[in-house]
Amino acid sequence: MKRTLPLFLAFFFGIIGIIVQMVPALKGLMDTMLDWMAIIAAFALAVGISSLTRHHMTKIRRKHKDIFFSYVTFIAMFFMTIIGLVGYFRPEGALQGLFENMYNYVRVPLDASMFALLAFYITSAAYRAFRARTWLATVLLLAGVIVMIGRVAFGPFIIFNDITAWIMKVPTTAAMRAVNVGIGLGIVATSIKIVLGIERSYLGGGE
Amino acid sequence: MKKITLILVLTLLSVPLLAAQETDNETPFYACDVSLYDTPNDDGISVELEFMPANSAEEVPQYAIDLYIDGTFSNTIMVKNAGALFLHTVPVEKKGSIVRAEIFAYDTQGQRQGPIVVKEATSSAQWYFSDRVGAFIWSMAFIGLIMVLIRKAKRGQEIFIRRIAGLEAIDDAVGRATEMGRPVYYIPGTSIIDDIATLASLNILRPVAQQVATYETPFSVPIKDPVVLTVAQDVVKEAYMAAGRADLHDDGIVYLASVGQFDYAAAVNGAMVREKPATVFLLGMFWAESLMLAETANTVGAIQIAGTDSTSQLPFFIAACDYTLIGEELYAASAYLSREPLLLGTLKAQDMIKGAVIVALIISIIGMLFGSDLLMKIFLQ
Amino acid sequence: MLIWYTIAVLLSLAIFSFLWKDNPLYKFAEHLFVGTMVGYQVVVVFSQIIMRKIVDPISVALDNRQILTLISLVIATLIGLLFLARFSRKVEWVSRYPISITVGFWSGYAIVASFKTNILTQIRGTVVDDLGQPLLNGHLIGDFFKNPSLKTLDLATAGPLLVFGVIVVLVYFFFSVKHDHPMVKFANKPALFYLMIGFGASFGYTFMGRISLFIGRMNFIFNEWWPLLKQTIGG
């Protein structure tokens, strides 16, 4: 029950997964299965929230110096949940407006700012790559610099534009294509191993 | 002589045709090309309609298509004559439905003329995706090969696997954290469980966790997706038990850091600068957050062992991390680390299928050099 | 409105302050971010899954007496509920059932689809281009010798170089072939060359896009919030 049934379930639903990919006539089954997966996954959120709560409760219990911030997380979480749920049942109410404002002026700018930090991270990564002295790193860097210039080139530098187009069209496409084929083989092999029960680490592994 | 007779016959025949054309010029001739056919690769609940006007927009500004399903009128679709192909999928309730399309033309006065064309089609369900047969056959061959090689591996046949630097480094990286008394972080990507890369990463988590437990190193596994969380919790717990260090296991090792892309990155970055891990594993599927995590790990002086199957993020890992598993190496890692004959057998099978794919590529190219796409159609459909 | 805009600007600055060092402002923004997103996720799961995929369809199925649909929905919900077994040490292992069902299904689902899109489509694209023209095309090579120029050289060599690159990189990643195998030895250097050009180019290609993200954020602060602030205070 503890080990064999999960392996059997993985096999059984794995076969269903293969079948719905192959048989158009079973589209109804496929839609049902996709709904099932969404429904099943939804309940895991309860486990997730309990884990997050536990993580912050431990900090609070241990009187960690950042205790205040754990409270911030809790308050924000409850606040957002409550105004969201009330807003769901009363779409015209004030709380729904507040929920939308929280989304637009808290979540969106935080998201956008984190994303914008990439400008700095990518620069520092490029800088470090600059210092590497192997021939491979040099090739990487050279291609990177040419393409960077190529994307904004004008006037006498327009030649970089053509070189960039060539680099993207020939060597980059070739490399990415082969890498993708390898990934495809990896995905298929891993999936087969799981369906056949050869790979069972996801169940905690062991026998 | 024969030729003259032929010409005469043709000329005679063309007289009535010419006459017919003249009469056509008097009354407008409405025309269109319509095909109505069962939707391929579906479960029989639609048919496809392709409609191409043959009159100019001046002659017929608009067409109407009356649709009947099993003899009952369903609806009318008005089509403006733009001289372009009009495509429409007609949904039906059940397979085996007979769909009839009657096309009417509207003349310049707005009068409805026709039906100028009537077409019928029956909806039916298909039992296989015609465009996936090739992939299916290849996959089945793959499964068969895996089974054969597993049997060989079980009999104790040695399978050689080349060295993968990123995986060789795991031992030292965990050892380094132990010596420095700083934690090891393991980030199994930021995708959900239906991404096979996530599963591949969870398969690597097992041996890493076991080693961390053996060395008694502090361990932290921040997670983004709740389902992945449940799996990772099991994996780490069992790994600690297998290492005989269940006493060191704590439910707080694997935790949900957040649920979105950048909030997760913000939380993990914050945790990293505060706890200063000595080793950070970034294995799985990543998006733009890959570089944030890798760079932050670098600023706190951690060794980063990264790996992803996202071709758009690989360049960042290669530039920013100490070791990077490229694409398929991520998937091979679990076999490599466990050295389990069964898993090594599948790795060998994977190589053989790859060899076959390369051969298929080469012979398809040769076929094309001789102007034939037959081989390509057979092997790469 | 100004209040919300100001909150947005302050939070943006708090996030940027992380570049200087970890500080209370960043910690606040980070923890607020996590709390908000988790709360938001609860609302999304409630409205999109619990209501839309469970409660509403069940009531429709009850009204229309669709017994099969009802049974299917109830079973899925029960399987999902098994996750909650984690809260008890004794029956914790029951939560493996939903895990193995999900993992098994997605694995099976990926097999044929990945073989098609990741492998066959890519390989096919290495035999013929989007227009169905072969990549190894003798005519194009002939054209180059008839009329040698950079353009005809590119046309003649692009296809062969692409095919060569794909094959050497594929060979480079073989796992079970020894390093001194002549095929692998031959492919090694050119494969690394292709890979590094490819990764470098992708890096460079994204670089400019990332820089513009930061410019976009600054634009929000200086061109949207600042004028609004001036207007409100001034007017």
Domain boundaries along the sequence of chain B: 27-122, 130-145+343-379, 159-339
Whether A202 has a pLDDT exceeding 60, the answer reads yes
Degrees to nearest 5, angle at CA A21 with B226 and C46 = 30
Residue range B168-195, pLDDT digits in tens: 999 999 999 999 999 999 999 999 999 9
Question: With an 8 Å Cβ cutoff, are A175 and C197 in contact?
Answer: yes
Whether B7 has a pLDDT exceeding 80, the answer reads no
Residue range B238-273, pLDDT digits in tens: 999 999 999 999 999 999 999 999 999 999 999 999
- For residue A62, being part of any structural domain is answered with no
The predicted model gives C135-151 an average pLDDT of 90
Length of chain C: 235
Residue with the larger pLDDT of the pair B58 and B300: B300
What confidence category does residue A157 fall into, taking pLDDT thresholds of 50, 70 and 90?
confident
HSE-up of residue B51 (Cα within 13 Å, Cβ side): 29
The predicted model gives A65-76 an average pLDDT of 95
- For residue C193, being part of any structural domain is answered with yes
Q: For the residues of B161-215, what is the DSSP string, one character each? A: ----HHHHHHHHHHHHHHHHT--EEEE--SS-TTSHHHHHHHHHHHHHHHHHHHH
Residue range B325-335, pLDDT digits in tens: 999 999 999 89
Compute how many other C-beta atoms are within 10 angstroms of the C-beta atom of residue A158: 10
Question: With an 8 Å Cβ cutoff, are A77 and C205 in contact?
Answer: no
What residues contact residue A185 under an 8 Å CB cut-off, 6+ apart?
Answer: B328, B331, B350, B353, B354, B357, C118, C119
What residues contact residue B257 under an 8 Å CB cut-off, 6+ apart?
Answer: A52, A55, B222, B223, B224, B264, B267, B268, B271, C34
Question: With an 8 Å Cβ cutoff, are A189 and B266 in contact?
Answer: no
HSE-up of residue C106 (Cα within 13 Å, Cβ side): 23
Residues of chain B neighbouring A66 (CB-CB closer than 8 A): 274
Residue range C28-41, pLDDT digits in tens: 999 999 999 999 99
pLDDT at B19: 47
Report which of A71, C86, C31 is spatially closest to residue B226, judged by C-alpha positions. C86
Do B304 and B322 touch, CB atoms closer than 8 A?
A: yes
Whether A43 has a pLDDT exceeding 50, the answer reads yes
Q: Which spans in C88-181 are helix H?
A: 96-114, 121-127, 138-146, 150-172
Of B194, B291, B311, the CB nearest to A179: B311
Report which of B2, B151, A151, A187 is spatially closest to residue C207, judged by C-alpha positions. A151
Whether A207 has a pLDDT exceeding 80, the answer reads no
Of C27, C101, C164, the CB nearest to A9: C101
Residue A25 at interface with chain B, using a CB cutoff of 8 Å: yes
pLDDT at C39: 97
HSE-up of residue B324 (Cα within 13 Å, Cβ side): 21
- The pTM for the full model equals 0.91
Whether A93 has a pLDDT exceeding 90, the answer reads no
Question: Helix, strand, or coil here: B47?
Answer: strand
d(CA B364, CA A6): 43
Q: Which spans in C17-149 are helix H?
A: 24-44, 56-64, 67-81, 96-114, 121-127, 138-146
Residue range B342-370, pLDDT digits in tens: 889 899 999 999 999 999 999 999 999 99
Q: What total of structural domains would you count in chain A?
A: 1
Residues of chain B neighbouring A185 (CB-CB closer than 8 A): 328, 331, 350, 353-354, 357
Question: Helix, strand, or coil here: B339?
Answer: coil
Task: Output DSSP code: residue B84.
Answer: S
pLDDT at B5: 59
- For residue A196, being part of any structural domain is answered with yes
pLDDT at B157: 81
- For residue A188, being part of any structural domain is answered with yes
The predicted model gives A56-61 an average pLDDT of 94
Residue A53 at interface with chain C, using a CB cutoff of 8 Å: no
d(CA B358, CA A177): 13
Residue B264 at interface with chain A, using a CB cutoff of 8 Å: no
The predicted model gives B110-135 an average pLDDT of 91
CATH number for the B27-122 domain, one of 3.40.1190.20, 3.40.50.1820, 3.40.50.460, 2.60.40.10?
A: 2.60.40.10
Residues of chain A neighbouring C192 (CB-CB closer than 8 A): 136
Question: With an 8 Å Cβ cutoff, are B357 and C170 in contact?
Answer: yes
What residues contact residue B248 under an 8 Å CB cut-off, 6+ apart?
Answer: B213, B216, B240
**What angle, rounded to 10 degrees, do the helices at B165-180 and B328-338 form?**
70
pLDDT at B216: 95
Structure tokens at A79: 């606040």
d(CA C125, CA C119): 10
Residue whose pair of structure tokens reads 């090309």 in the numeric block: B33
Task: Work out the burial of residue B3: count CB atoms within 10 Å of its CB; fewer than 13 is exposed, 13-18 middle, 19 or more buried.
Answer: exposed
CATH number for the B159-339 domain, one of 3.30.70, 3.40.50, 1.20.120, 3.90.1200?
A: 3.40.50
Do B311 and B327 touch, CB atoms closer than 8 A?
A: yes
- For residue C190, being part of any structural domain is answered with yes
pLDDT at C186: 94
Over the range C181-208, which residues count as b (16 or more CB within 10 Å of their CB) and which as e? Answer: eeebeebeebbbbbbbbbbbbbbbbbbe
The predicted model gives A1-13 an average pLDDT of 91
pLDDT at B109: 87
Whether B26 has a pLDDT exceeding 70, the answer reads no
Domain residue limits at C182: 128-235
Of C15, C173, C177, the CB nearest to B328: C173
Of A14, A113, A142, the CB nearest to C105: A14
- For residue A28, being part of any structural domain is answered with no
Length of chain A: 207
Question: With an 8 Å Cβ cutoff, are C199 and A140 in contact?
Answer: yes
What confidence category does residue B27 fall into, taking pLDDT thresholds of 50, 70 and 90?
low
The predicted model gives B147-173 an average pLDDT of 90
Do B284 and B197 touch, CB atoms closer than 8 A?
A: yes
Whether B12 has a pLDDT exceeding 70, the answer reads no
Whether B14 has a pLDDT exceeding 60, the answer reads no
Mean pLDDT for chain B overall: 90
Structure tokens at A18: 């293969």
Task: Output DSSP code: residue C133.
Answer: -
- For residue A29, being part of any structural domain is answered with no
Name beta bridge partners: B53.
B32
Whether A66 has a pLDDT exceeding 60, the answer reads yes
- For residue A99, being part of any structural domain is answered with no
The proportion of chain B whose per-residue pLDDT surpasses 70, expressed as a percent, equals: 93
Strands B112-122 and B98-106: antiparallel
The predicted model gives C95-121 an average pLDDT of 96
Whether B18 has a pLDDT exceeding 70, the answer reads no
What residues contact residue A132 under an 8 Å CB cut-off, 6+ apart?
Answer: A138, A141
What confidence category does residue C235 fall into, taking pLDDT thresholds of 50, 70 and 90?
low
The predicted model gives C178-195 an average pLDDT of 92
Task: Output DSSP code: residue B43.
Answer: B
Q: What total of structural domains would you count in chain C?
A: 1
The proportion of chain C whose per-residue pLDDT surpasses 90, expressed as a percent, equals: 77
d(CA A190, CA C111): 9
